[in-house]
């Protein structure tokens, strides 16, 4: 397994791994994540196997800042306001998928929703410019504590193709469902309820 630093040469190697169907771990602007291409079925299945999680759980997609989210999902006015205020940043938004959105069921699911986030940390943004969209799921076995270092991740997931080492947080992203008319809080993380510009269902 390769442990790579956050630099341009590493991102070229990561891109080759992703395009060949590999699975990686990488530091984000929130917690360490496990990831792969959202367009590789074999990689998605391997990621589920490594995590020990059910296929009914859906993945978040990390995308570069210039990614055309609206080609894949419907964006409401409340969602647009949250995107404007918090992207790039630690806010994951769950949208209603367009009927022709070509993603695996582990990303869209039976409810027809897709989760996107545009990260803010410069290194992960540079990496995404090279790799394109990446699946992101926390670096831990399903139901177990988060892993906070490259060494811990290498011990628990020795079959990963590489780890991109960096400074990760201990808090996950905040998740808001904007798939219908009323935004709903699903998880409070880095962004707290008091930071939202309007009332979010589920916030105290």
Query: Residue 201: inside a domain, yes or no?
Result: no
Domain count, the chain: 1
**Residue 88: CATH number of its domain:** 3.90.870.10
What confidence tens digit (pLDDT) does each residue in 158-188 have? 999 999 999 988 899 999 999 998 999 999 9
What confidence tens digit (pLDDT) does each residue in 113-172 have? 999 999 999 999 999 999 999 999 999 999 999 999 999 999 999 999 999 999 988 899
Query: Residue 204: inside a domain, yes or no?
Result: no
Query: Residue 202: inside a domain, yes or no?
Result: no
What is the residue range of 125's domain? 2-195
**Structure pTM?**
0.94
Q: What is the 3-state secondary structure (H, E, C) of the chain?
A: CEEECCCHHHHHHHHHHHHCCCCEEECCCCCCEEECCCCCHHHHHHHHHHHCCCCCCCCEEECCCCCCHHHCEECCHHHHHHHHHHCCCCEEEEEEECCCCCCCHHHHCCCCEEEEECCCCHHHHHHHHHHCCEEEEECCCCCCCCCCCHHHHHHHCCCCCEEECCCCCCCCCEEEECCCCCCEEEECCCCCHHHCCCCCECCC
């Amino acid at each position: 397994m390769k442990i790579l630093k956050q630099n341009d040469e590493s991102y070229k190697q990561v891109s080759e791994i992703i395009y060949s169907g590999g699975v990686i771990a990488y530091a984000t602007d929130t917690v360490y994540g496990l990831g792969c291409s959202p367009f590789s079925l074999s990689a998605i299945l391997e990621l589920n196997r490594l995590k020990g999680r059910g296929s009914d759980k859906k993945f978040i997609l990390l995308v570069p800042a210039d990614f055309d989210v609206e080609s894949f999902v419907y964006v409401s006015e409340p969602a647009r306001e949250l995107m404007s205020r918090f992207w790039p940043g630690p806010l994951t938004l769950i949208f209603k998928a367009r009927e022709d959105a070509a993603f695996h069921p582990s990303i869209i699911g039976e409810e027809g929703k897709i989760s996107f986030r545009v990260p803010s940390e410069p290194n992960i943004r540079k990496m995404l410019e090279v790799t394109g969209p990446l699946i992101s799921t926390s670096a831990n076995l399903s139901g177990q504590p988060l892993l906070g270092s490259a060494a811990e991740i290498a011990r628990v997931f020795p079959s990963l193709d590489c780890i991109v080492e960096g400074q990760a947080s201990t808090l996950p992203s905040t998740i808001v469902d904007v798939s219908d008319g009323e935004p709903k809080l699903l998880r409070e993380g880095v962004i707290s309820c008091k930071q939202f510009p309007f009332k979010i269902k589920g916030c105290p």
